[in-house]
Chain A
Amino acid sequence: MDTDFLIDFSDLNAPVVYLAGAWVTGKQLPEVRIIQEAICTCINTVFLVPGDNFEWDSRLLAFILAAERLCQEHQKKLDISAFPESVQQLYDLAKAVPPNISSPEESHNHWTFLKSFWVGAIETLGFIGEMCIAVGRLFAGRSHMRAVDLLFCLNQAGPKALGILSLLSVLVGMILAYLGMIQLSQFGAEVYVANLVALGMVREMGSLMTAVIMAGRTGAAWASELGAMQVNEEVDALKTMGIRPMDFLVMPRLLAMAIAMPLLSAYSFILGMIGGGVMTTGMEMTLRMYLHQLLQSFSPGDVLAGCFKGFIFGLLIVLAGCQSGMNCRGSSAAVGEATTRAVVQAIVYFVIADAALNLMFYKLGI
């Protein structure tokens, strides 16, 4: 070991600690506890003194500060006047401002989780209320929304999502057909695969898959966009200009989603059925059989119900995305959190809303 230390107890009232060798970062250095004994025995002052071949960098000062803290705990003093002037200057600088003794604020509430959940729920209801009022203003013609923003959002929510949506819809259709084929062929009922694909896509998978894609794609993008605007004080700037952020930022997105989602869902139904068709004709059905069975298996009511689901999911995407974006406070980390929350919340909403809508359709006999 290059470093060495030696405690000289010759004067019990004022022990001297010699620090010899290289007291630099990266070397194996003794812990500050080694001078505990010296501190405990002395009457009021411990002397730290450089020894032979002495070298130093920040590591030494860290040691000295730690030793000083230890001394303070035992109400003793530390004398470092034997060190080079530069060491003493740095030491004085570090000691110039007394350290903060209070700790960061923490809530002492035991029900933090429940409380934040409750507050979140109330805020969400408030946001829904504000959105409703903003929609009312829109129809009353007193909204601050710009048509150009609506077009811009519509472009984001619609055409740009078509590629990924096509791919996933075709694949989901194929998966449904494949599963159905394996199971139904055991009963010789392969022909009903078409029913499975059609109803599966139209009533359930089509709108749900579309919603998940749009939540991950557009909802997250909007959450981070609004979050960044909030952090960058742009939302404050809007407010001070007398423009309501709800009208200016949220409404175009809400309308865009409300228009795009039913259409995208319908598009997804068609592609899913095509995917199913490709899979079944590749196995043991003719295209003619598939199409014949397919067209009999669903009614316009089913399509409407599916599109309605898509519409509701669209509103939920905007609710989750815009609310977490607008509530974003502080730093760039908050923007990331807002994005995560937007997607997670949206997916939770979908599952709940899907269950509720299915129950409603069942009771209404749709």
Chain B
Amino acid sequence: MSLEQLVGTVELPDLRKFLPEFILLVLAFTLFTLELTFKGEKKRRLLLTVSYAGYALVLLSLFVPWRHPGDTFYASFTNDALAVTVKLFATLLTMAVLAFVNAYYRHFRSFYGEFYYLLAFTLLGVFILASSYNLVILYVALELVSVGFYVLTALFRGSTASKEGAFKYLVLGGLSIALASYGAAFMYVYAGSLDLREILSYEGQDLHYLILGLVFFLIGFAVKIGAVPFHFWLPDAYQGAPTPVTALMASVGKLAFFIPLLRVMPLVQEKFSVVWTVTVGVIAALTMLFGNFVALVQKDVKRMLAYSSIAHSGYLLAAAAVAKELGMKALLYFLLVYGVMAAGSFLVLALLERGRGWRNELEYFSGLRFTLPAVAFAFFIYLIALLGVPPTAGFAGKALVFMALSFDELWWLAFVMILSTAVSTGYYVRLVVLMFMKEPVVETGRPVSAAAERLSLALTALASVLLGALPGLIWFLIEASVASILGR
């Protein structure tokens, strides 16, 4: 081989396709350096300001990869509409959460400067996870996101619950990643390639390797999204984590972990659509039933919302069971809007927890309308969105899932979904009744909220309604994303 030929095969990475990731990496290291250099109150404000500026820059830079779709790094990094959409929402949600961070940690006397660069690295993991078909890259990205979340969960001074949650998350998460990599190895044996697209379109002899590999690989993700029976870590981690981190895990985290699943969907529909539908459908049914029934008996609202997050994984998986275009659209739409509602609902808790003597128990929410009317109203919006009352985004999501299910005539799953939504009515409406129709029973201090926090809550509440009432606002993103993974 001559030198020219050798150089010819070397592809120069196209910066335009991974500019946001690059900025994020620079941001993470900048935050790291700042964290080491500065001290005290000045550091907190500096880190927050630099984070905001950095994420804003990332948002702006998303236009570049949107304009230049295509693979780079020898097809191990895929930049398509789906990736850009996910990155857009992940960044926006992170910015919404960021408003609450400093005040929250100050209240609990638990400020760690590490939070900011860990967050940036986690988001980098999310970005990469959203834009790859390569098993090794997916594996690394998965690790990056997970390790980020383990540490962020544990970063809570003096809270044993947070350590317990993080440890459970670590053990089960580690196991799941091991399973995923084991699955990846099997798939490599089957097709001799690490690219999921090639693996799933390869016409090999040893199909059992592929099945085994795919099953292990997907179990790895099932653990991450909290699907039953792999959900045991989730309530503890969600409850133990600092609430802004819970908000991140429920929104950005869930968004990231579902994307590889979404990318696999078009690829399975030829080879084993029936097996896929039945397996994913059964897991979906179990997940939504379990999540909702257990949420119904929770006394702690944060834990209740954690179980509701499990239930929503079930609804999302129900959409994923329909490996057709409509199923993918339903999954992606519901995923994006669920992130908004979930972030909002946990952020309300993050705000309330700063009230003197506040605990996230049901009776503390009694008469919230009288003590904190605006917060109660925002929480009301998130709750009805999670329940799926029209015209909120949660309703549009459920309607799309129903459409997807009737597309494949999965009536049994549709009825399970009706049943589990019926169960969920109990706990969401209970909170609404408590907040608006009862008098306050516990004396607590009122948290002081900053303008940025109020803005963040107002915008997420507004988005929870608007994205449902006028889905056209983001539908073009959904169409483009699904078209991109279908290879159109």
Our verdict on whether A and B bind, yes or no, reads no
- Interface residues, chain A, with chain B CB atoms under 8 Å away: none
- Interface residues, chain B, with chain A CB atoms under 8 Å away: none
